[in-house]
Amino acid sequence: MTNRPPSAPQVKLTYRGQDITASAGQTVAAALIRNGISAWRITRRGDVPRGLFCGIGVCYDCLLTVDGVSGQRACLVEVVDGMRLGDAPDVPGTEEQ
């Protein structure tokens, strides 16, 4: 007998045209990191890659596009099966695919 909690159902998402999986209940940021994606935005000044930083919605470093709606904080949005994710719109050449 094991004392592990039951695993959460898996959901499928699309990030920039790439299929990824996540566990139901995860945030978008957790799902991206789980799939090896650590940065999904580039700063306007300095072209510095950004992703998850504070994890509580305060810093706005994790902005991205969710189902066509830009400016979403990946650390606060919970994954939904079939969700389409794209980079923040201020990243040249990385429009949602």
Give pTM, 2 decimals: 0.84
Quick one: how far is CA 93 from the chain centroid?
18
Express each pLDDT in 77-92 by its tens digit.
Answer: 999 999 999 987 665 4
State both tokens at 22.
């996540």
Residue found under tokens 């596009």: 65
Express each pLDDT in 10-34 by its tens digit.
Answer: 999 999 999 999 999 999 999 999 9
Residue 67 reports pLDDT greater than 80: yes
